Amino acid sequence: MDWKLELVFVPVSDVDRAKDFYVNKVGFNADYDERVNENLRFVQLTPPGSGCSIAIGEGLNDAPPGTAPSLQLVVGDIQKAYDQLKGNGVDCSEIDIQDWGHFVYFHDPDGNKWAVQYMPYKQNA
């Protein structure tokens, strides 16, 4: 039996602002946006090529905005990812080159932490 992680809830204070950030600045796909009732709104966003999405919204959980665990995206070209983020106005770090990978870091408007990783020496397991 496969166990797949396909959805991670990211607590935000302003759903429209967060959706705009993730879609128009970071480049996620807007998959679903539904107001179920006056207390519940579900928005699903997916990074291109990812099998895992994030969910933002209203009434989804009790976590305070900005308290998602550190999240990480993996890319095949860190320079291209950095250029895309910077070009779209995301306040991100410079490329951090470590022995175990190259990274770019950023926060969403609520302070949820993201890392973008490129693994130049990745070997097939």
The answer to whether 58 and 39 are in contact (CB under 8 A) is yes
Q: How many CA atoms lie within 13 A of 118 on its CB side?
A: 15
DSSP one-letter code for 25: I
3 state SS of 43: strand
pTM comes to: 0.93
Q: Using 50, 70 and 90 to split pLDDT, how confident is the model at 120?
A: confident
Q: Kindly state whether residue 81 falls inside one of the protein's structural domains.
A: yes
Q: How many CB atoms lie within 10 A of CB 4?
A: 7
Which domain range does residue 67 map to? 7-118
**Could you give the number of structural domains in the chain?**
1
Phi/psi at 115 (5° precision) = -125, 140
Q: Kindly state whether residue 123 falls inside one of the protein's structural domains.
A: no
Q: Using 50, 70 and 90 to split pLDDT, how confident is the model at 2?
A: very high
Examine the pLDDT at 86 and tell me if it is beyond 90: yes
Average pLDDT over residues 29-51: 97
Q: Kindly state whether residue 2 falls inside one of the protein's structural domains.
A: no
What does the pLDDT read at residue 123? Answer: 54
Alpha-carbon distance of 27 to 114, in angstroms, equals 14
Q: Kindly state whether residue 106 falls inside one of the protein's structural domains.
A: yes
CATH assignment of the domain containing 104 = 3.10.180.10
Both tokens of residue 124?
């097939």
Average pLDDT over residues 91-101: 96
